[in-house]
Structure 1
Protein backbone atom coordinates (compact mmCIF):
# COMPACT_ATOMS: atom_id res chain seq x y z
CA UNK A 1 0.00 0.00 0.00
CA UNK A 2 2.83 2.37 0.96
CA UNK A 3 4.64 1.52 -2.30
CA UNK A 4 1.54 2.32 -4.37
CA UNK A 5 1.08 5.59 -2.49
CA UNK A 6 4.70 6.55 -3.16
CA UNK A 7 4.25 5.82 -6.85
CA UNK A 8 1.16 8.00 -6.92
CA UNK A 9 3.02 10.89 -5.29
CA UNK A 10 5.97 10.50 -7.67
CA UNK A 11 3.64 10.44 -10.69
CA UNK A 12 1.89 13.60 -9.46
CA UNK A 13 5.26 15.36 -9.03
CA UNK A 14 6.30 14.34 -12.55
CA UNK A 15 3.01 15.60 -13.96
CA UNK A 16 3.42 18.91 -12.11
CA UNK A 17 6.96 19.28 -13.42
CA UNK A 18 5.84 18.56 -16.99
CA UNK A 19 3.00 21.04 -16.64
CA UNK A 20 5.33 23.75 -15.32
CA UNK A 21 7.77 23.09 -18.15
CA UNK A 22 4.96 23.37 -20.72
CA UNK A 23 3.78 26.64 -19.23
CA UNK A 24 7.30 28.07 -19.05
CA UNK A 25 7.95 27.16 -22.70
CA UNK A 26 4.64 28.57 -23.90
CA UNK A 27 4.83 31.01 -26.81
CA UNK A 28 2.41 33.90 -26.29
CA UNK A 29 0.76 35.46 -29.33
CA UNK A 30 -0.41 38.95 -28.34
CA UNK A 31 -3.56 40.65 -29.60
CA UNK A 32 -1.36 42.59 -32.05
CA UNK A 33 -0.10 39.33 -33.59
CA UNK A 34 3.41 39.25 -32.07
CA UNK A 35 4.80 35.84 -31.04
CA UNK A 36 6.59 36.21 -27.68
CA UNK A 37 8.80 33.25 -26.72
CA UNK A 38 10.06 33.15 -23.10
CA UNK A 39 13.21 35.09 -24.05
CA UNK A 40 11.17 38.05 -25.32
CA UNK A 41 11.55 41.21 -23.24
CA UNK A 42 7.75 41.59 -23.20
CA UNK A 43 6.97 37.96 -22.32
CA UNK A 44 5.97 38.49 -18.70
CA UNK A 45 4.03 41.68 -19.55
CA UNK A 46 1.92 39.94 -22.19
CA UNK A 47 -1.22 39.03 -20.25
CA UNK A 48 -3.85 38.75 -23.02
CA UNK A 49 -2.59 36.14 -25.45
CA UNK A 50 -3.19 32.95 -27.37
CA UNK A 51 -0.79 30.19 -26.33
CA UNK A 52 1.24 28.07 -28.76
CA UNK A 53 3.58 25.16 -28.12
CA UNK A 54 6.31 26.53 -30.39
CA UNK A 55 7.47 29.59 -32.31
CA UNK A 56 6.84 27.66 -35.52
CA UNK A 57 3.16 27.07 -34.75
CA UNK A 58 2.70 30.71 -33.68
CA UNK A 59 4.27 32.02 -36.90
CA UNK A 60 2.23 29.55 -38.95
CA UNK A 61 -0.93 31.09 -37.48
CA UNK A 62 0.05 34.44 -39.02
CA UNK A 63 2.09 35.82 -36.13
CA UNK A 64 5.41 37.64 -36.35
CA UNK A 65 8.51 37.88 -34.21
CA UNK A 66 9.01 40.82 -31.80
CA UNK A 67 11.60 43.47 -32.56
CA UNK A 68 15.10 42.28 -31.74
CA UNK A 69 14.31 38.59 -32.09
CA UNK A 70 14.47 36.47 -35.21
CA UNK A 71 12.89 33.12 -35.93
CA UNK A 72 15.11 30.06 -35.48
CA UNK A 73 17.36 29.53 -38.48
CA UNK A 74 15.53 26.35 -39.41
CA UNK A 75 12.30 28.35 -39.73
CA UNK A 76 13.93 31.11 -41.76
CA UNK A 77 15.27 28.58 -44.22
CA UNK A 78 12.00 26.70 -44.61
CA UNK A 79 9.54 29.24 -45.94
CA UNK A 80 6.15 28.73 -47.53
CA UNK A 81 6.58 31.91 -49.59
CA UNK A 82 5.05 31.87 -53.08
CA UNK A 83 5.00 34.77 -55.54
CA UNK A 84 1.26 34.36 -56.04
CA UNK A 85 0.73 35.35 -52.39
CA UNK A 86 1.44 38.91 -53.61
CA UNK A 87 -0.95 38.74 -56.55
CA UNK A 88 -0.61 37.14 -59.96
CA UNK A 89 2.09 39.16 -61.66
CA UNK A 90 1.93 42.86 -62.42
CA UNK A 91 -1.41 44.46 -61.61
CA UNK A 92 -3.48 46.77 -63.83
CA UNK A 93 -5.67 48.23 -61.09
CA UNK A 94 -7.09 51.09 -63.18
CA UNK A 95 -7.81 48.88 -66.23
CA UNK A 96 -6.00 51.10 -68.73
CA UNK A 97 -4.00 48.11 -70.11
CA UNK A 98 -0.77 49.49 -68.62
CA UNK A 99 0.26 47.18 -65.81
CA UNK A 100 2.61 48.10 -62.97
CA UNK A 101 5.69 47.28 -65.02
CA UNK A 102 4.61 49.62 -67.81
CA UNK A 103 3.68 52.36 -65.36
CA UNK A 104 7.03 52.04 -63.57
CA UNK A 105 8.86 52.32 -66.90
CA UNK A 106 6.82 55.38 -67.89
CA UNK A 107 7.35 57.07 -64.51
CA UNK A 108 11.12 56.52 -64.42
CA UNK A 109 11.98 57.33 -68.04
CA UNK A 110 13.67 60.70 -68.52
CA UNK A 111 12.08 61.05 -71.98
CA UNK A 112 8.72 60.12 -73.48
CA UNK A 113 8.50 56.36 -73.92
CA UNK A 114 7.47 54.47 -77.04
CA UNK A 115 4.92 51.68 -77.16
CA UNK A 116 4.58 48.51 -79.19
CA UNK A 117 0.89 48.99 -79.95
CA UNK A 118 -1.69 51.73 -80.63
CA UNK A 119 -3.38 51.11 -77.28
CA UNK A 120 -0.10 52.07 -75.52
CA UNK A 121 0.01 48.96 -73.37
CA UNK A 122 3.59 47.70 -73.64
CA UNK A 123 6.61 50.00 -73.39
CA UNK A 124 9.45 49.25 -75.82
CA UNK A 125 11.88 52.14 -75.45
CA UNK A 126 12.68 55.26 -73.44
CA UNK A 127 15.64 56.57 -71.45
CA UNK A 128 16.32 55.10 -68.04
CA UNK A 129 19.24 55.80 -65.72
CA UNK A 130 19.90 52.72 -63.62
CA UNK A 131 20.04 53.50 -59.87
CA UNK A 132 22.36 50.50 -59.51
CA UNK A 133 25.09 51.69 -61.90
CA UNK A 134 24.19 55.09 -63.39
CA UNK A 135 24.13 53.45 -66.82
CA UNK A 136 21.71 54.83 -69.44
CA UNK A 137 19.38 52.18 -70.88
CA UNK A 138 17.08 52.81 -73.86
CA UNK A 139 15.73 49.34 -74.64
CA UNK A 140 12.95 48.30 -72.25
CA UNK A 141 13.72 44.63 -72.91
CA UNK A 142 17.03 45.11 -71.05
CA UNK A 143 15.25 46.27 -67.91
CA UNK A 144 13.84 44.44 -64.92
CA UNK A 145 11.48 46.19 -62.53
CA UNK A 146 13.12 45.57 -59.19
CA UNK A 147 11.29 45.38 -55.86
CA UNK A 148 13.49 47.52 -53.61
CA UNK A 149 12.29 45.38 -50.70
CA UNK A 150 12.05 41.89 -52.24
CA UNK A 151 8.73 40.12 -51.79
CA UNK A 152 10.30 37.01 -50.28
CA UNK A 153 12.28 39.15 -47.82
CA UNK A 154 9.11 41.03 -46.86
CA UNK A 155 7.22 37.74 -46.42
CA UNK A 156 9.82 36.53 -43.90
CA UNK A 157 9.69 39.69 -41.81
CA UNK A 158 6.00 40.46 -41.57
CA UNK A 159 4.14 40.27 -44.89
CA UNK A 160 3.14 36.68 -44.19
CA UNK A 161 0.52 37.98 -41.74
CA UNK A 162 -0.85 40.68 -44.09
CA UNK A 163 -4.09 40.47 -46.00
CA UNK A 164 -3.96 39.45 -49.68
CA UNK A 165 -4.91 43.00 -50.68
CA UNK A 166 -2.09 44.55 -48.67
CA UNK A 167 0.47 42.13 -50.14
CA UNK A 168 -0.72 42.89 -53.67
CA UNK A 169 -0.57 46.63 -53.01
CA UNK A 170 2.97 46.25 -51.68
CA UNK A 171 4.07 44.31 -54.76
CA UNK A 172 2.74 47.06 -57.04
CA UNK A 173 3.65 50.10 -54.92
CA UNK A 174 5.55 52.52 -57.20
CA UNK A 175 7.73 53.51 -54.25
CA UNK A 176 8.94 49.91 -54.14
CA UNK A 177 9.63 49.64 -57.88
CA UNK A 178 12.52 50.90 -59.96
CA UNK A 179 14.03 50.19 -63.36
CA UNK A 180 17.37 48.36 -63.27
CA UNK A 181 19.54 46.05 -65.36
CA UNK A 182 18.28 42.51 -65.78
CA UNK A 183 21.56 40.96 -64.65
CA UNK A 184 21.85 42.96 -61.43
CA UNK A 185 18.24 42.36 -60.43
CA UNK A 186 18.78 38.61 -60.86
CA UNK A 187 22.00 38.90 -58.86
CA UNK A 188 20.21 40.68 -56.05
CA UNK A 189 17.37 38.15 -55.90
CA UNK A 190 15.59 38.17 -52.52
CA UNK A 191 18.51 39.68 -50.61
CA UNK A 192 18.37 42.78 -48.44
CA UNK A 193 21.19 45.35 -48.04
CA UNK A 194 22.79 43.15 -45.37
CA UNK A 195 23.67 40.63 -48.11
CA UNK A 196 23.84 42.65 -51.33
CA UNK A 197 24.60 46.20 -52.41
CA UNK A 198 24.55 47.66 -55.94
CA UNK A 199 27.82 48.80 -57.57
CA UNK A 200 26.68 52.44 -57.28
CA UNK A 201 23.94 54.42 -55.54
CA UNK A 202 24.27 52.56 -52.24
CA UNK A 203 23.00 55.52 -50.20
CA UNK A 204 19.88 55.92 -52.31
CA UNK A 205 19.22 52.18 -52.25
CA UNK A 206 19.63 51.63 -48.49
CA UNK A 207 17.71 54.82 -47.64
CA UNK A 208 14.78 53.77 -49.78
CA UNK A 209 14.86 50.24 -48.38
CA UNK A 210 14.75 51.52 -44.79
CA UNK A 211 11.91 53.97 -45.54
CA UNK A 212 9.84 51.16 -47.04
CA UNK A 213 10.29 48.73 -44.15
CA UNK A 214 9.25 51.53 -41.76
CA UNK A 215 6.26 52.46 -43.91
CA UNK A 216 5.05 48.86 -43.96
CA UNK A 217 6.11 48.08 -40.37
CA UNK A 218 8.25 45.13 -41.41
CA UNK A 219 10.17 43.60 -38.51
CA UNK A 220 13.70 42.45 -39.34
CA UNK A 221 15.84 41.48 -36.32
CA UNK A 222 17.90 44.13 -34.55
CA UNK A 223 21.21 43.00 -36.05
CA UNK A 224 19.93 43.78 -39.55
CA UNK A 225 18.69 47.21 -38.46
CA UNK A 226 22.13 47.91 -36.98
CA UNK A 227 23.70 46.91 -40.31
CA UNK A 228 21.41 49.34 -42.18
CA UNK A 229 22.33 52.20 -39.83
CA UNK A 230 26.02 51.49 -40.36
CA UNK A 231 25.56 51.34 -44.11
CA UNK A 232 23.80 54.70 -44.11
CA UNK A 233 26.65 56.23 -42.08
CA UNK A 234 29.16 54.74 -44.48
CA UNK A 235 27.52 55.63 -47.79
CA UNK A 236 25.42 58.75 -47.10
Structure 2
Protein backbone atom coordinates (compact mmCIF):
# COMPACT_ATOMS: atom_id res chain seq x y z
CA UNK A 1 0.00 0.00 0.00
CA UNK A 2 2.82 2.41 0.82
CA UNK A 3 4.38 1.74 -2.59
CA UNK A 4 1.07 2.35 -4.36
CA UNK A 5 0.54 5.62 -2.51
CA UNK A 6 4.06 6.76 -3.41
CA UNK A 7 3.51 5.98 -7.09
CA UNK A 8 0.24 7.88 -7.12
CA UNK A 9 1.95 10.83 -5.50
CA UNK A 10 4.66 10.95 -8.13
CA UNK A 11 2.07 10.74 -10.95
CA UNK A 12 0.06 13.58 -9.44
CA UNK A 13 3.17 15.72 -9.15
CA UNK A 14 4.04 15.18 -12.79
CA UNK A 15 0.54 16.19 -13.91
CA UNK A 16 0.72 19.40 -11.90
CA UNK A 17 4.13 20.30 -13.36
CA UNK A 18 2.90 19.62 -16.92
CA UNK A 19 -0.19 21.78 -16.48
CA UNK A 20 1.88 24.62 -15.13
CA UNK A 21 4.17 24.54 -18.18
CA UNK A 22 1.25 25.27 -20.55
CA UNK A 23 0.50 28.98 -20.98
CA UNK A 24 -3.07 29.91 -21.70
CA UNK A 25 -1.95 32.88 -23.82
CA UNK A 26 0.49 30.85 -25.94
CA UNK A 27 0.02 31.51 -29.69
CA UNK A 28 -2.04 28.99 -31.59
CA UNK A 29 0.90 28.07 -33.76
CA UNK A 30 2.70 26.85 -30.65
CA UNK A 31 0.28 23.95 -30.26
CA UNK A 32 -1.07 23.52 -33.84
CA UNK A 33 1.03 22.69 -36.90
CA UNK A 34 1.34 25.58 -39.36
CA UNK A 35 -0.95 25.37 -42.39
CA UNK A 36 0.90 24.62 -45.60
CA UNK A 37 1.56 27.79 -47.58
CA UNK A 38 -0.46 28.26 -50.77
CA UNK A 39 1.56 28.17 -53.99
CA UNK A 40 2.41 31.59 -55.32
CA UNK A 41 0.79 32.23 -58.70
CA UNK A 42 1.35 35.28 -60.85
CA UNK A 43 -0.29 36.15 -64.15
CA UNK A 44 2.14 36.29 -67.06
CA UNK A 45 2.95 39.84 -68.07
CA UNK A 46 0.95 41.22 -70.97
CA UNK A 47 3.57 41.65 -73.65
CA UNK A 48 3.43 42.21 -77.37
CA UNK A 49 4.38 38.98 -79.17
CA UNK A 50 8.00 39.16 -80.35
CA UNK A 51 7.03 38.67 -84.00
CA UNK A 52 4.96 41.88 -83.90
CA UNK A 53 7.77 43.72 -82.15
CA UNK A 54 10.15 42.54 -84.86
CA UNK A 55 8.14 44.10 -87.69
CA UNK A 56 9.61 47.38 -88.84
CA UNK A 57 7.42 50.45 -88.43
CA UNK A 58 7.53 52.90 -91.34
CA UNK A 59 5.28 55.10 -93.41
CA UNK A 60 3.54 53.92 -96.54
CA UNK A 61 5.56 54.13 -99.73
CA UNK A 62 3.99 55.81 -102.78
CA UNK A 63 1.76 53.55 -104.88
CA UNK A 64 3.68 54.54 -108.01
CA UNK A 65 3.69 51.70 -110.52
CA UNK A 66 1.20 49.49 -108.70
CA UNK A 67 -0.93 47.13 -110.79
CA UNK A 68 -2.52 43.78 -110.03
CA UNK A 69 -0.47 42.33 -112.87
CA UNK A 70 2.70 43.00 -110.85
CA UNK A 71 1.75 39.94 -108.79
CA UNK A 72 1.45 37.62 -111.76
CA UNK A 73 -1.50 35.82 -113.28
CA UNK A 74 -4.43 35.55 -110.88
CA UNK A 75 -4.61 32.19 -109.09
CA UNK A 76 -1.51 30.83 -110.76
CA UNK A 77 -0.50 27.29 -109.84
CA UNK A 78 3.09 27.98 -110.91
CA UNK A 79 4.29 29.10 -107.46
CA UNK A 80 6.88 27.90 -104.96
CA UNK A 81 4.69 27.99 -101.84
CA UNK A 82 3.02 25.00 -100.17
CA UNK A 83 0.21 23.72 -102.37
CA UNK A 84 1.62 25.19 -105.54
CA UNK A 85 2.27 23.21 -108.71
CA UNK A 86 -0.28 20.58 -107.73
CA UNK A 87 -2.25 20.76 -110.97
CA UNK A 88 -5.07 22.90 -109.51
CA UNK A 89 -5.42 26.68 -109.54
CA UNK A 90 -5.07 28.48 -106.22
CA UNK A 91 -8.70 29.67 -106.03
CA UNK A 92 -10.05 26.12 -106.13
CA UNK A 93 -7.36 25.00 -103.68
CA UNK A 94 -8.66 27.52 -101.15
CA UNK A 95 -12.31 26.68 -101.80
CA UNK A 96 -11.61 23.00 -101.17
CA UNK A 97 -9.81 23.94 -97.96
CA UNK A 98 -12.36 26.40 -96.56
CA UNK A 99 -15.72 24.96 -97.62
CA UNK A 100 -17.64 22.29 -95.75
CA UNK A 101 -18.43 19.27 -97.95
CA UNK A 102 -17.21 20.78 -101.23
CA UNK A 103 -18.69 19.16 -104.32
CA UNK A 104 -16.04 18.62 -107.02
CA UNK A 105 -16.87 18.55 -110.71
CA UNK A 106 -16.16 15.12 -112.18
CA UNK A 107 -13.36 14.91 -114.71
CA UNK A 108 -11.37 17.83 -113.24
CA UNK A 109 -8.82 15.66 -111.41
CA UNK A 110 -10.35 16.62 -108.06
CA UNK A 111 -9.85 20.35 -108.63
CA UNK A 112 -12.90 22.38 -109.66
CA UNK A 113 -15.33 23.14 -106.82
CA UNK A 114 -18.99 23.28 -107.84
CA UNK A 115 -20.61 23.98 -104.48
CA UNK A 116 -20.25 23.82 -100.71
CA UNK A 117 -20.97 25.65 -97.47
CA UNK A 118 -18.64 28.37 -96.20
CA UNK A 119 -18.42 29.02 -92.45
CA UNK A 120 -17.24 32.59 -93.04
CA UNK A 121 -14.86 33.67 -90.26
CA UNK A 122 -15.12 37.37 -91.17
CA UNK A 123 -18.90 37.58 -90.74
CA UNK A 124 -19.54 34.59 -88.49
CA UNK A 125 -22.25 33.44 -90.92
CA UNK A 126 -22.64 30.40 -93.14
CA UNK A 127 -22.79 31.15 -96.84
CA UNK A 128 -23.87 28.75 -99.54
CA UNK A 129 -21.34 28.65 -102.34
CA UNK A 130 -22.47 27.71 -105.85
CA UNK A 131 -20.04 28.18 -108.70
CA UNK A 132 -20.93 31.37 -110.58
CA UNK A 133 -23.18 32.99 -107.95
CA UNK A 134 -20.49 35.50 -106.81
CA UNK A 135 -21.38 35.21 -103.13
CA UNK A 136 -17.94 33.96 -102.08
CA UNK A 137 -14.61 35.62 -102.84
CA UNK A 138 -11.04 34.74 -101.93
CA UNK A 139 -9.56 37.52 -99.81
CA UNK A 140 -5.88 38.40 -99.59
CA UNK A 141 -5.52 38.77 -95.82
CA UNK A 142 -2.68 41.19 -96.47
CA UNK A 143 -3.95 42.97 -99.61
CA UNK A 144 -1.68 43.14 -102.62
CA UNK A 145 -1.86 46.94 -102.74
CA UNK A 146 -1.01 47.16 -99.05
CA UNK A 147 1.99 44.89 -99.59
CA UNK A 148 3.10 47.07 -102.53
CA UNK A 149 3.17 50.13 -100.26
CA UNK A 150 5.09 48.29 -97.54
CA UNK A 151 7.94 46.49 -99.23
CA UNK A 152 6.70 44.44 -102.18
CA UNK A 153 7.92 46.98 -104.74
CA UNK A 154 11.44 45.70 -104.15
CA UNK A 155 10.57 42.03 -104.72
CA UNK A 156 11.23 40.04 -107.85
CA UNK A 157 8.37 38.73 -109.96
CA UNK A 158 8.48 35.23 -108.49
CA UNK A 159 8.23 36.45 -104.90
CA UNK A 160 5.26 38.65 -105.74
CA UNK A 161 3.55 35.74 -107.50
CA UNK A 162 4.21 33.47 -104.51
CA UNK A 163 2.79 36.07 -102.15
CA UNK A 164 -0.42 36.45 -104.17
CA UNK A 165 -1.01 32.68 -104.08
CA UNK A 166 0.28 31.79 -100.62
CA UNK A 167 -2.45 29.86 -98.71
CA UNK A 168 -1.35 31.58 -95.51
CA UNK A 169 -2.49 34.85 -97.04
CA UNK A 170 -5.79 33.65 -98.49
CA UNK A 171 -9.25 33.23 -96.96
CA UNK A 172 -12.63 32.46 -98.53
CA UNK A 173 -15.16 35.02 -97.32
CA UNK A 174 -18.36 36.86 -98.22
CA UNK A 175 -18.01 38.82 -101.46
CA UNK A 176 -19.45 42.00 -99.96
CA UNK A 177 -16.90 41.96 -97.11
CA UNK A 178 -14.06 41.43 -99.54
CA UNK A 179 -15.22 44.49 -101.51
CA UNK A 180 -15.68 46.48 -98.31
CA UNK A 181 -12.17 45.71 -97.12
CA UNK A 182 -10.48 46.62 -100.39
CA UNK A 183 -6.81 47.36 -99.72
CA UNK A 184 -7.39 48.17 -96.05
CA UNK A 185 -4.83 47.20 -93.43
CA UNK A 186 -5.50 46.38 -89.78
CA UNK A 187 -5.77 50.07 -88.90
CA UNK A 188 -8.56 50.73 -91.41
CA UNK A 189 -10.50 47.45 -91.55
CA UNK A 190 -11.35 44.64 -89.15
CA UNK A 191 -13.70 41.67 -89.60
CA UNK A 192 -17.24 42.42 -88.34
CA UNK A 193 -17.08 39.15 -86.42
CA UNK A 194 -15.19 40.33 -83.32
CA UNK A 195 -14.47 36.75 -82.24
CA UNK A 196 -12.22 36.38 -85.30
CA UNK A 197 -10.19 39.54 -84.87
CA UNK A 198 -7.50 37.91 -82.77
CA UNK A 199 -6.89 35.20 -85.38
CA UNK A 200 -7.05 37.81 -88.14
CA UNK A 201 -4.35 39.92 -86.44
CA UNK A 202 -2.13 36.89 -85.94
CA UNK A 203 -2.56 35.89 -89.57
CA UNK A 204 -1.57 39.33 -90.82
CA UNK A 205 1.48 39.38 -88.57
CA UNK A 206 2.54 35.90 -89.69
CA UNK A 207 2.32 36.82 -93.36
CA UNK A 208 4.09 40.16 -92.99
CA UNK A 209 6.86 38.58 -90.95
CA UNK A 210 7.32 35.77 -93.48
CA UNK A 211 7.74 38.23 -96.35
CA UNK A 212 9.58 41.02 -94.53
CA UNK A 213 6.83 43.60 -94.99
CA UNK A 214 6.66 46.58 -92.65
CA UNK A 215 3.69 48.14 -90.86
CA UNK A 216 2.63 51.68 -90.07
CA UNK A 217 2.42 53.07 -86.55
CA UNK A 218 -1.39 53.04 -86.71
CA UNK A 219 -1.32 49.46 -87.93
CA UNK A 220 0.96 48.43 -85.08
CA UNK A 221 -1.42 50.00 -82.58
CA UNK A 222 -4.41 48.17 -84.09
CA UNK A 223 -2.65 44.80 -84.19
CA UNK A 224 -1.40 45.13 -80.61
CA UNK A 225 -4.92 46.07 -79.48
CA UNK A 226 -6.47 42.99 -81.03
CA UNK A 227 -3.74 40.71 -79.71
CA UNK A 228 -4.34 42.03 -76.20
CA UNK A 229 -7.96 40.86 -76.48
CA UNK A 230 -7.08 37.28 -77.48
CA UNK A 231 -8.61 34.76 -75.14
Offset of residue 227 of structure 1? 2.5
> What CA RMSD, in Å, does the superposition of the two structures yield over aligned residues?
2.0
Deviations 1:69-91 (A, max 9, x none): 325xxx63x43210011011111
**Would you say the 8 A contact 2:186–2:223 is kept in 1?**
yes
In structure 1, the residue matched to 2:213 is 218
Q: Is 1:203 equivalent to 2:198 in the alignment?
A: yes
Deviations 1:87-111 (A, max 9, x none): 1111123262x21000000111222
TM-score by length of 2: 0.65
Distance 1:232 1:137 in 2: 27
Question: 1:19-38 maps to which residues of 2 (within 5 A)?
Answer: none
In structure 2, the residue matched to 1:20 is none
In structure 2, the residue matched to 1:101 is 91
In structure 2, the residue matched to 1:54 is none
In structure 2, the residue matched to 1:110 is 100
Distance 1:198 1:90 in 2: 23
Offset of residue 137 of structure 1? 2.0
Distance 2:98 2:57 in 1: 36
Choose 155-164 or 121-130, whichever is displaced more. Answer: 121-130
User: Could you tell me which of 131, 137, 144 is aligned with 2:137?
Assistant: 144
Unaligned runs of 5+ in 2: 1-54, 79-84
SS in 2 for 1:132: coil
More relative contact order, 1 or 2 (CA 8 Å, 6+ apart): 2
**Would you say the 8 A contact 1:67–1:222 is kept in 2?**
no
SS in 2 for 1:111: strand
**Would you say the 8 A contact 2:102–2:114 is kept in 1?**
no
Question: 1:1-236 maps to which residues of 2 (within 5 A)?
Answer: 67-71=56-60, 76=62, 78-93=63-78, 94=85, 96=87, 98-115=88-105, 118-119=107-108, 120-140=110-130, 141=133, 142-200=135-193, 201-234=196-229, 236=231
SS in 1 for 2:101: coil
Deviations 1:14-70 (A, max 9, x none): xxxxxxxxxxxxxxxxxxxxxxxxxxxxxxxxxxxxxxxxxxxxxxxxxxxx93332
- Runs (4 or more) in structure 1 with deviation over 6 Å come to none
Aligned residues between the structures: 165
